Amino acid sequence: MEELNPYHIAQLQFDRAAERLRLERWLRDMLRVPDRTLSVEFPVKMDNGDIRMFTGYRVQHNNSRGPYKGGVRYSPEMNLDEVRALATWMTWKTAVVDIPFGGAKGGVVCDPSTLSQAELERITRRYTYEISDIIGPELDIPAPDVNTTPQMMAWMVDTYSMGKRHSEFGVATGKPTFLGGSHGRLEATGRGVALTAMNALADLKLNPQKVTAAVQGYGNVGSQAARSLREFGVKIVGVSDSSCALCDPEGLDLAEIDQHVAAHPRHLLENYTKALVLPERNELLEMECDLLVPAALENQLTAKNAGRVQAKLIVEGANGPTTPGADDIFQKRDILVVPDILANAGGVTVSYYEWVQNIQREQWSFREVVEKLDAKMNTSYAPVRDLARREGVDLRTAAYMIAIGRVAESTRTRGVFP
C-alpha cells in the first residue's frame, strides 16, 4: 500500500535528493528531523461559558540559514506528523528561493467553521501565549496558513507584544497592512504559482493564450493563482473547494464566482448555478485540461488517480499534494510536475519582505513588492530546471538538491556546537 503519512513522504523526498548529493551521514541524520517539537494542551472559555481543551503544535525544523519561518493552520484533521512534514518542507522552500529563513509550522486542532469570532480570538491568543517562549522576530516568525487570517496574525502580534511591553510587529507576517503588513502579501503565493507556471509553459513551448487550466482549492492561494493565470491569458475551465467542483470548457467567469463566494462565505462554491457541477469534487483532478494546479491539501494526487490525470503540466499550489507514487507515474507519462517548495514559495518570499520592512520600520509600495517577487520567482525556476536536465532527474528532486545543498553548506560552515 502506498505511503500517505506526510512526514514519511517528506523524509523519503529528502532521502532521494540526499542520496544524489552523496550527503554525509551525520548531515543526513541532522537535516531529516526537526530541531524542536512542541505540543501544548490549553483551556479556552467558549461563548456559552463552557471550558474546552485544545491541542496546539509548533515544530521548528531547521534554522541554520536564519530564523524559523512557517504558517499556523487551524484544522480538525491536523496531527503532529502533518506539522512535522510542513515544517520540513518550509526549510527546503526558503532555501530553494534563497531567502535567509529556516522552516517551521504550527497550528491548533479545531474546526474554525464551528467557532465564533470571539472564540477564535481567545484560541489564537492562548495558543500564542503557549508558544511565546520559542517565537520572536529573531527566533521563529509565524504566518497565516489554512483557515487562518491576517486578523489572527494581528491577535498574535498583540498577545506577544503585551508580554514584551512594547509593540513587536516583526513577530508574525501576513498581518493587515496598517499593522505592519506588506502590500502584495495576500496575492503573493497565488501569483508565485502563476509565474512559475508561465516559466514551465515556456519550457513546454505552450502558448498561455491556448492553455486551459483547472484549479483544485479555491481558497486564497487557488483563487489568486486562477486570477493571475487568467491575467496571463490562460483559460480557467475548472475550480473546486470543499463544497463542490465547477467546470466550463468555454471558461469560467472568475469575477462572478468571486462575487458568489463573497456572498456565501460558509458555503463557498456550493449552489453556484452558472457552471456544470461535477458529481465528485476530486473529478476535477482528472478533467481535460493542459495545466492542473492542486491548491488544497496533501495527498491529492496519488498512485490511485495519477494514471487518469490528463494535464500536461502540474504546478503545486498546496504543500505536499503529490505522493512519491504519483510522482513516479507522472515521470513515466512525461507529465511535468513543478514541486510545491518552488511553485508556492511566493508567500514566504513576501513574508520575508514584510519582515524586512518591519525590522527597518518601512513600508514598500505594492509595485516594489511585486517587482521583487516576480524577479525572485523567475530567477529561482531556471536553476532547478537546469539541474534537473543535467542530472536527469525530475524537478522535485532537483529543487530538493539545491535546497538541501544550501542548508548543508550552511550547517557545515557553522559547525556543530559545542
Query: For 152-175, how does the pLDDT look when each residue is reduced to its tens digit (9 = 90+)?
Result: 999 999 999 999 999 999 999 999
CATH class of residue range 186-343: alpha beta
Given a cut of 70, whether residue 266 has pLDDT beyond it is no
Q: Fold match between 37-169 and 186-343?
A: yes
Quickly state the pLDDT bin for 242 (edges 50, 70, 90).
confident
Residues 207-221 have a mean pLDDT of 95
pTM for the model: 0.94
- Average the pLDDT over 387-409 and give the result: 97
Residues with catalytic roles: 105
Q: What phi and psi values does residue 322 have, to the nearest 5 degrees?
A: -115, 125
Burial 178-213 (b: 16+ CB within 10 A, else e): ebbbbbbbbbbbbbbbbbbbbbbbeeeebebeebbb
CATH superfamily of 37-169: Leucine Dehydrogenase, chain A, domain 1 (3.40.50.10860)
pLDDT for 120-154, tens place per residue? 999 999 999 999 999 999 999 999 998 999 999 99
pLDDT the model gives residue 27: 96
Task: State residue 134's pLDDT score.
Answer: 98
Query: Tell me, what amino acid is at 13?
Result: Q
- Rounded to 5°, angle at Cα 145 from 55 and 254: 140
pLDDT at 267 over 70: no
For the chain, give every domain's residue range: 37-169, 186-343
Question: Cα–Cα distance between 409 and 418 in angstroms, integer?
Answer: 18
